[in-house]
Amino acid sequence: MAETRLIQGNEACALGAIAAGCRFFGGYPITPSSGIAEQMVRLLPGVGGVFIQMEDEIASLAAVIGASLGGSKAMTATSGPGFSLMQEHIGFAAMAEVPCVIVNVMRGGPSTGLPTSPSQGDVMQARWGTHGDHPAVVLAPSSVGEVHELTVRAFNLAERFRTPVILTYDEVVGHTRESVILPDRVDVVDRPRPDEDPGSFLPKRVTPDGVPPMAAFGDGYRFHVTGLAHDERGFPTQDNAVAGALLTRLHNKIDDHLDEVADVEEYMLDDADVVLFAYGIVGRSAHEAVRRARDRGVRAGLFRPRTLWPFPSGRLAEVTAGVDRVIVAEMNLGQMISEVAGAAAATTEVVGHLRADGKPITPSELLETVLAQGGDRP
Amino acid sequence: MTDVRKYLREWAMPHVLCPGCAHGIVLKSFLEAVDQLQLDQDKVAMVAGIGCSSRLAGYADLCTMHGTHGRAPAFATGLKLARPDLDVVVVSGDGDGLAIGGNHLIHAARRNIDITVLLLNNSIYGMTGGQVAPTTPQGAIASTSPGGNSEASFDPCRLLTGAGASFVARVLAATPIEMTKTIVEAMSHPGFAFIEIVGDCPEYFGRYNKAGGGAEMLNFIARQGESVAVPLTSKRFVNHVPAPEPRPGLRTGVLNREIRPVYSGVRGAVSDEA
């Protein structure tokens, strides 16, 4: 029997993590994400897992990576300033191909900003925050139920592709209490394991789908892990051809499987003249604004990526072909709007409905923008 | 003496270390300890940060990780909590462990997690070209203290004792048999064990301070029992830097040993420690 619960987004995240097989959590207190740690410390011992509160967010993600190398599914959770500190190890996890999940409950920034207010100011940092060229997989749920669903998905994608996955939602999603139906069971993906003899094991063997099988420390395979450019043996190299091939593979292992990663909610797009592009909590306001606009005879639609990165450029281009205007609604001063503008046809006008004062964007204010932008074009 | 080649990745040679550097002595002493303890190579993890000392992990045929600068104790903490069946050893340097990674090191000590930290103190940043470190003696020349270091330096063993490390020892890189014996004791100790290994950096410290090559530096440290304070006798010592306090002779051996509860994370009945 599926279970109905009245819970906050942060609780749904913890429950989703446990359901996905997470058995290690390392974190550091920070608003508005602390609720996740406070749930994990209660849930993990009951399933044979381990919790630790580390000395900072840098150490938190380091511990998570260490646990993952030991074979555990592992997660950390943070907000704004802590997410900045984690960038170093997001890059390490991408380079060393260590599966892990990083939750960033977004609050107002920059710096300490507005600790208890929502924001979507970290979506570009989620893509490009750590240095160097690296792939990024970033998921953006908009409701408590979706937090549960996409937390499970974050673990599955991390394991499937041996990569860090970022789950990001704002303070409102994290703290809102909603009635959700939790599934009895979820589909769980485990990292690919080697089946060869330890003597011939190559920890970064190039495989047809680009994801090398991953052994755990202590399981009979001895190997080296490094954040330096490395060869198939996992050993540092300065060979430019090898380094270049590694970076290309790290990108291709995601880009060649976009069908497994992409995830978009499309609402009323078939005949839309004006399309709202929104994600996270704003996606819910946008959904309501589209419904109200339709009631008034305006052909509005919604494009809501649940996977923010890789950016769904191809699909957005398809659905906006022939569309007059795309309104990008986000709780920042314009971040995803540049991606939308890059993907939309030259004949499509892209405008922003942007807000970065710590208040969520409401359906009413979005409706006004839709009516102003969508109703009067010849 | 054991033939430690069975614990080496000979295919990874030649190594990156400079002639006269004592880090190779440390690696051999550590592998001797692994052999004396009769540890299963599959169950020993060597977790390193960034720097010359941290490159040692790559040459050991164990479960090895070369992480980020200063963070090795944090990686090791996660690994040990997830895999209590592993012996986890951190190899770090003075810049790695005491500057950028100081916070992680003291918290690992405070928790008394059951890992061993080998801190190779050569009093300078070697890999980046000889910059001043938190262990560089006052007055010593480095590329970022061309007029002589004006900052006070850490005593790593006192620092770690204060942070709660339940096993603290200092050994000289010039005494490898003593070093092996101390590493065996440290790895057998239940809880956090810290060993400061005082060695040399002839390429930068030695060259900048006219302190001689590897043999001269190690000899001096062994004879004087005074850390790598050799530059204080250097002709290049700059007069306008206040004369340092005379350093007490470096105490070696086990400096602190106590038994207290071993940290194994917040976990349920599955805990198999403490």
Within 8 A of A203 by CB-CB distance, chain B residues are none
**Interface mutation vs chain B, best among A28, A40, A61, A225, most B CBs within 10 Å:** A225
Q: Distance, in angstroms, between A40 CA and closest chain B CA? A: 10
Q: Distance, in angstroms, between A357 CA and closest chain B CA? A: 35
At B228, the pLDDT band (50, 70, 90 cuts) reads very low
Contact B75 A66 (CB under 8 A): yes
Give residue B140's pLDDT. Answer: 93
Contact A227 B45 (CB under 8 A): no
Give residue B220's pLDDT. Answer: 76
Contact A51 B266 (CB under 8 A): yes
What CATH number labels A264-374?
A: 3.40.50.920
pLDDT greater than 70 at residue B232: no
pTM score, whole prediction: 0.95
Within 8 A of B85 by CB-CB distance, chain A residues are 218
The residue in chain B having the minimum alpha-carbon distance to the alpha carbon of residue A57 is B74
Within 8 A of B268 by CB-CB distance, chain A residues are 44-46, 48
User: What is the value of ipTM here, to two decimals?
Assistant: 0.97
pLDDT greater than 70 at residue B74: yes
Do A264-374 and A3-182 have the same topology in CATH?
Answer: yes
Q: Distance, in angstroms, between B45 CA and closest chain A CA? A: 7
Contact A89 B71 (CB under 8 A): yes
Within 8 A of B47 by CB-CB distance, chain A residues are 66
Using an 8 Å CB-CB cutoff, list residues of chain B that contact chain A: 9, 11-12, 41-43, 45, 47, 57-58, 61-68, 71, 74-83, 85-86, 103-104, 107, 264-270
Give residue B249's pLDDT. Answer: 63
For B179-223, write each residue's pLDDT tens digit: 999 999 999 999 999 999 999 999 999 999 998 899 989 887 776
Q: Distance, in angstroms, between B223 CA and closest chain A CA? A: 38
Within 8 A of A70 by CB-CB distance, chain B residues are 78-79, 82-83, 86
For chain A, which residues make up each domain, given as ranges?
Answer: 3-182, 264-374
Contact B78 A65 (CB under 8 A): yes
For A60-81, write each residue's pLDDT tens digit: 999 999 999 999 999 999 999 9
Per-residue pLDDT of chain A (378 residues; tens, 9 = 90+): 688 999 999 999 999 999 999 999 999 999 999 999 999 999 999 999 999 999 999 999 999 999 999 999 999 999 999 999 999 999 999 999 999 999 999 999 999 999 999 999 999 999 999 999 999 999 999 999 999 999 999 999 999 999 999 999 999 999 999 999 999 999 999 999 999 999 999 999 999 999 999 999 999 999 999 999 999 999 999 999 999 999 999 999 999 999 999 999 999 999 999 999 999 999 999 999 999 999 999 999 999 999 999 999 999 999 999 999 999 999 999 999 999 999 999 999 999 999 999 999 999 999 999 999 875 444
Give residue B219's pLDDT. Answer: 82
Give residue A350's pLDDT. Answer: 97
Within 8 A of B79 by CB-CB distance, chain A residues are 66-67, 69-70, 217
Within 8 A of B8 by CB-CB distance, chain A residues are none
Give residue B1's pLDDT. Answer: 66
Structural domains of chain B sorted by starting position, each given as residue range(s) with its CATH number in brackets: 19-240 (3.40.50.970)
More confident residue, B223 or B87: B87
Give residue A253's pLDDT. Answer: 98
The residue in chain B having the minimum alpha-carbon distance to the alpha carbon of residue A223 is B63
Q: Distance, in angstroms, between B107 CA and closest chain A CA? A: 7
The residue in chain B having the minimum alpha-carbon distance to the alpha carbon of residue A51 is B266
Range A3-182 classified under CATH 1.10.3720.10: no
At B250, the pLDDT band (50, 70, 90 cuts) reads confident
Three-state DSSP string of chain A: CCEEEEEEHHHHHHHHHHHHCEEEEEECCCCCCHHHHHHHHHHHHHHCCEEEECCCHHHHHHHHHHHHHCCCEEEEEECHHHHHHHHHHHHHHHHHCCCEEEEEEEEECCCCCEEEEECCCCHHHHHHCCCCCCCCEEECCCCHHHHHHHHHHHHHHHHHHCCEEEEEEEHHHHHCEEEEEECCCCCCCCCCCCCCCHHHCCCCCCCCCCCCCCCCCCCCCCCEEECCCECCCCCECCCHHHHHHHHHHHHHHHHCCHHHHCCEEEECCCCCCEEEECCCHHHHHHHHHHHHHHHCCCCEEEEEECEEECCCHHHHHHHHCCCCEEEEEECCCCCHHHHHHHHCCCCCEEEEEECCCCCCCCHHHHHHHHHHHHCCCC
Contact A48 B42 (CB under 8 A): no
